[in-house]
Chains A and B, each alone.
Chain A
Amino acid sequence: QVQLVESGGGVVQPGRSLRLSCAVSGFTFSTYGMFWVRQTPGKGLEWVAVISSDGRNTYYADSVKGRFGISRDNSKNTLYLQMNSLKPEDTALYYCARGPRNMIVAVSHWFDPWGQGTLVTVSS
């Protein structure tokens, strides 16, 4: 069955970096666009980034643009989120989710399925 498993979360000081991973199985990873979404108690769900099937095109929410980088290794069936210059407001549960099949550019689509999430806490 389709599975997405996030890892790499933890407690980090403001200004530092962290890299999240999302290992997938049960579908042909290289043919799907992939998302990162985060959730905080105060702000609900927030889309973070999306990457095309081949990894060539990436899009980011304004809140993370210039600080976060989404990437993928289709040979390892793994999605990544490199988070730099972390701020306390980046504290959240980070989910990866599958996006459109054969995605080249950002298009209207849904998030399905989702992983179980990995918690990132930015605090001194």
Chain B
Amino acid sequence: QAVLTQPPSVSEAPGQRVIISCTGSSSNIGAGYDVQWYQQLPGTAPKLLIYGSNNRPSGVPDRFSGSTSGTSGSLAITGLQAEDEADYYCQSFDRSLNYVFGSGTRVTVL
């Protein structure tokens, strides 16, 4: 199974805020390695949403934000929209020189 732990699903109404957690360990996030977040819409490849824990690539709305604390990272989506319905994955790096992913979270807009 995945090295980083995420909740399987979160749901919220349009306009509301959701937070997705990503729990790692002292050998990855806790070692100071950045957390990245990817959005995967149905039938498409993952797309980079947040890099370096709290940076957005050009074109990503500022409704998406990231943060880290200790051995965990978080993705917040504010002003939830129907188009945000997707799977979200966190990713980091490990002292064993492995790139590790989260188990994925399905966001449903009610």
Q: How many A-B residue pairs have CB under 8 A?
A: 60
Query: Cβ of A47 < 8 Å from any Cβ of B?
Result: yes
For the complex of A and B, list the 7 residue pairs with the smallest distance between their C-beta atoms, beginning with the closest: A108-B93, A47-B99, A112-B48, A114-B45, A45-B101, A110-B51, A110-B36
Those of B1-26 within 8 Å (CB) of chain A = 1-2
User: Using Cβ atoms and an 8 Å threshold, which residues of chain B touch A62?
Assistant: 98
Query: Cβ of A106 < 8 Å from any Cβ of B?
Result: yes
Cβ of A114 and Cβ of B47 under 8 Å apart?
yes
Closest to A44 in B: B104
User: Using Cβ atoms and an 8 Å threshold, which residues of chain B touch A109?
Assistant: 93, 99
Interface of A is mostly: loop
User: Using Cβ atoms and an 8 Å threshold, which residues of chain A touch B92?
Assistant: 108
Task: Give residues in B with beta carbon < 8 Å to A.
Answer: 1-2, 33-34, 36, 38, 44-48, 51-52, 57, 89, 91-93, 97-104
- 29 pairs, CB–CB < 8 Å, chain A vs chain B: A35-B99, A43-B1, A43-B2, A44-B2, A44-B89, A44-B101, A44-B104, A45-B91, A46-B101, A47-B99, A47-B100, A106-B93, A106-B97, A108-B92, A109-B99, A110-B34, A110-B36, A110-B48, A110-B52, A111-B36, A111-B38, A111-B46, A111-B99, A112-B51, A112-B57, A114-B45, A114-B46, A116-B44, A117-B45
Those of A47-99 within 8 Å (CB) of chain B = 47, 50, 59, 61-62, 95
Closest to B1 in A: A43
A16 to chain B, nearest CB (A): 26
Contact of A44 among B33, B93, B103 (CB under 8 A): B103
Most buried by B among A35, A45, A113, A114: A45
Cβ of B45 and Cβ of A59 under 8 Å apart?
no
Contact of A113 among B48, B99, B101, B102 (CB under 8 A): B48
Cβ of A59 and Cβ of B97 under 8 Å apart?
yes
A43 to B102, CA, bound (A): 10
A113 to B45, CA, bound (A): 9
A44 to B1, CA, bound (A): 8
User: Using Cβ atoms and an 8 Å threshold, which residues of chain A touch B57?
Assistant: 112
Most buried by B among A61, A110, A111: A110
